[in-house]
């Protein structure tokens, strides 16, 4: 019995070791996302009825001076902001009967009575705040800890690897990868890791002269810093301390912010690249994870230290931001798609059309959720 209690409630048990870190990561990401909707909505003069972290029965809450109900609910797997005039799950244009239920004052601040640009700004603010969160996290980490970088040198070439077949040699220095200049070995890894099966052009500096070669990265299973098995595209080159000359780069606050913006941009680019390749079947389905995998990663990150957990917050925040921008109702991107159509045709999309799109989109989202759950539990 004591072993069961320790495994459940101990410092490394399920509750404190996995569930609490997972809820911390998810709550921070969701709170920031919904706060983006809330703040921009308020700045646009839209009334807010409720700001909720979680779903289901309310556990605790309070009303602010603007009449917004701030609450924490029993199922902490998401959140929402409910604006004045939100009558249904699709957030579509209310019917005449629904509008009759609003007072004159409520109509003035109702979400659906606002110009399309205000509605679009309010919706897109959620994902944008997710990206801002990632930038802030990286800026703080870079400012506090700096980061280690290595010169883009080749110390070893694996026999029979794509690099060996392309003629890359020990002592070569990477100048560019597919036209992108590189300054560190991490730059090379970033530009190669998501390109399995693609022929990539490399410009190498050898004996003072530039040499151009072409190599096609291949997938290799590796273990990441959290101990997860991941498949990464590699060309088979190794960097070492002698040639790489690793050094710690420190940043001023402004420099840390610039580096954080660049790093966030790289993550967004890599995530978008992965999704496009995944859709056409060029990525391993096991690279996609759902709540179970995220919880496992949160537990492992917490064991390594708080800064690792914060980095996971930053990475998950980008993923949530990109996911919500997909043009699928009921995601934020689906609403933005309808607002774009409305701006072009100069009238709201019909309620019937929105309802049909919402149902189809909801089935697609639920199917995706089921797929990642299956991956987490049985598929991988």
**Active-site residue flag, 34:** yes
User: pLDDT, tens digit, for every residue of 3-22?
Assistant: 444 444 445 567 778 999 99
- Give which of 175, 177, 172, 176 is closest to 154, Cα–Cα: 172
First to last CA, the chain: 32
User: pLDDT, tens digit, for every residue of 157-199?
Assistant: 999 999 999 999 999 999 999 999 999 999 999 999 999 999 9
Which residue among 3, 12, 34, 351 is the active-site one? Answer: 34
The model's confidence at residue 351, banded by pLDDT at 50, 70 and 90, is confident
**Rounded Cα–Cα distance for residues 256 and 66 (Å):** 37
Q: Pick the residue with more confidence: 101 or 302?
A: 302
Exposed (0-12), middle (13-18) or buried (19+): which is 300, by Cβ within 10 Å? buried
Q: In the chain, pLDDT over 70 holds for what percent of residues?
A: 93
pTM value?
A: 0.89
Helices assigned H by DSSP within the chain: 2-9, 14, 20-43, 96-100, 104-109, 116-145, 162-166, 185-192, 241-244, 253-279, 291-304, 306-325, 332-345, 351-374
User: pLDDT, tens digit, for every residue of 311-328?
Assistant: 999 999 999 999 999 999
Mean pLDDT, the chain, whole residue set: 90
* Domains in the chain, CATH or no CATH each: 2-145+311-379 (no CATH), 148-249 (2.30.42.10)
């Amino acid at each position: 019995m004591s072993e069961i209690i320790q495994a459940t409630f101990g410092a490394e048990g399920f509750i404190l070791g996995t569930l609490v870190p997972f809820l911390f990561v998810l709550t921070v990401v969701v709170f920031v996302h919904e706060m983006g909707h809330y703040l921009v909505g308020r700045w646009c003069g839209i009334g807010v009825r409720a700001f909720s972290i979680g779903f289901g029965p309310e556990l605790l809450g309070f009303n602010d001076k603007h009449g917004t109900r701030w609450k924490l609910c029993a199922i902490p797997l998401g959140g929402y902001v409910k604006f004045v005039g939100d009558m249904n799950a699709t957030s579509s244009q209310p019917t005449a009967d629904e509008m009759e239920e609003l007072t004159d004052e409520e109509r003035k601040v109702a979400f659906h009575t606002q110009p399309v640009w205000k509605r679009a700004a309010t919706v897109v603010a959620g994902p944008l705040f997710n990206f801002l969160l990632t930038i802030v996290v990286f800026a703080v980490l870079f400012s506090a800890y700096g980061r280690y970088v290595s010169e883009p040198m080749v110390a070893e070439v694996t026999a029979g690897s794509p690099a060996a077949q392309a003629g890359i040699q020990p002592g070569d220095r990477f100048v560019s990868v597919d036209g992108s200049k590189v300054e560190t070995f991490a730059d090379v890894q970033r530009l190669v890791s998501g390109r399995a099966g693609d022929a990539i052009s490399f410009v190498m500096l050898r004996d003072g002269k530039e040499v151009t070669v072409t190599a096609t990265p291949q997938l290799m299973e590796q273990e990441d810093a959290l101990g997860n098995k991941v498949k990464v595209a590699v060309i088979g080159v190794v960097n070492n301390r002698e040639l790489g000359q690793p050094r710690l780069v420190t940043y001023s606050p402004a420099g840390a912010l610039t580096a954080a913006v660049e790093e966030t941009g790289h993550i967004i680019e890599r995530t978008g690249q992965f999704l496009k390749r995944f859709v056409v079947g060029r990525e391993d389905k096991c690279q996609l994870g759902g709540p179970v995998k995220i919880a496992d990663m949160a537990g492992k990150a917490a064991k390594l230290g708080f800064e690792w957990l914060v980095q996971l917050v930053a990475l998950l925040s980008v993923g949530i931001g990109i996911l919500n921008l997909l043009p699928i109702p009921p995601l934020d991107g689906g609403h933005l798609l309808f607002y774009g159509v409305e701006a072009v045709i100069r009238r709201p999309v019909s309620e019937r059309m929105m309802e049909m799109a919402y149902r189809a989109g909801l089935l697609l989202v639920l199917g995706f959720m089921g797929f990642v759950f299956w991956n987490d539990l049985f598929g991988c």
